[in-house]
Structures are given as structure tokens and as C-alpha cells.
Amino acid sequence: MLKALVTDVDGTITDRRRRINTGAIEAIRVLVDAGIEVVLASGNTVCFMDGLCRMIGTDGTIISENGGVYRRGYGGTLHIPGNQDICLETFEVIREHFAGEGVELELFSARYRYADVAFARNVDPDDVRGVVHAHCLPAEVLDTGFAIHLQDPAVSKGTALRSLAEEMGLLPDDILAIGDSENDINMLEAAGVGVAVANALDPTRSAADWVSREAYGEGFLESVKKYYPDLLSR
């Protein structure tokens, strides 16, 4: 049996409006009670993830800011391998570019972020990538479908998964990972088994070992029932 589950949040255990699937919550609690390590992985901030973990009922092990931050348990050391300086440098050039076009970029939770920069999708992510490429800027652009993130290219959900696996005394092969977006690709590839829910983008689906028939939270529930049938047989 796979010893741990790492799951994305938005678009994987939620619907497109970010409403959490209650069946997904129940399934996570079953796994936690059975001794399966459950890690929530997201582009969201640590404070957001802490609240989510408390409400769902996990032990607080998280991958935050798309791998720029991770932690084992609520009391564990907060590791920040992501370099936010290069993200801020990149954002300033992007901000100036779009300001010249009369577009103001809306930052998300800037004061609570340690490793990346996130802003609203009121501009085309491909246009943002074009600015980064044209100016040879150091940060990577990630489009989660919910926000645009500027990320240190040296970190990802996949690098955080490997680091957490070592802290947990596991191998990456012991881990099931589930996701939907481009920021989940490295995570699916790093895990022993990578699953994409049906609403996943084509590159994410291609990186997965299996793709669910159902989308969003229902796809998550279908996936954990497939890989933990003895625990979730109903």
C-alpha cells in the first residue's frame, strides 16, 4: 500500500469555484485515521494552508507556494528553498510592462508569501511569459488556472515532495500524488504513482500514470478509492 498521499488543492479537491468537495474531506480523514500521511500541496500561502489543514484534519504537513515552502507537521521547521528576490525582480519588470498598457496587476497575499509572487489572471499568462522571455528574467511563470505565479526555477512541488519524503523516512515511490495543473507536473513525476483528475490540462494528464474519469473533487475521490480500496471500499 502507498504510505503517503500528496494532493493539490484548487481544482483537485475543489470545484472550479474553489468549493471543497465534502467527499474528498471525508476520504482524507479516513486515510489520516488509518495512518496514511496526507500532505496538502498548493500555491497558496502557509497561513492559508494551516487553516485548511486544521479544518480538514491533517497533521499540518504542507507544500506551499508551489514548493517554495514546505514543512513536516505544524511544529516542524518551515523550509524556504525558494528565492523570492528573483520573483520580486521579475514582477517589477512585468508590472511596468503592463502598466504601460494601462493594466494594473493585483498581487495576491503579498505580505504572507515567503518564496514566490502571485497575482490575478487579468492578463494572459502567455503574454507574461513573453515579457519574461524578452527580458531574460530569472523567475519561472506558472499558471495554476486560479492565479499567475512567479517561481524560483530551482524549486517545485516535486522537489518539495522529495525533501518531505526524506523527512518522513519514505521513498518517493511510497507516495501517491494527485493534481490537475501545470504546477503539479513535477509532483506527479516525482511520486511513485501520479494521478491527474479529469479536468487536468493535457501536459498534466501526460505526466500522470493514471487519469480519473471524474473531474475535480469527484476525480480525487475516485482516485483514492482506486489506490486505497481496502480503506475506501464504499
Catalytic machinery residues: 8
At 24 the three-state DSSP class reads helix
Q: What is the DSSP letter of 107?
A: B
- Dmax (CA) of the chain: 58
Measured between alpha carbons, how far is 199 from 11 in angstroms, rounded to an integer?
A: 8
Q: How distant, in Å, are the alpha carbons of 15, 39, 195, 233, 234 from that of 27?
A: 16, 13, 16, 11, 11
Nearest in space to 153 (alpha carbons), one of 142, 168, 162: 142
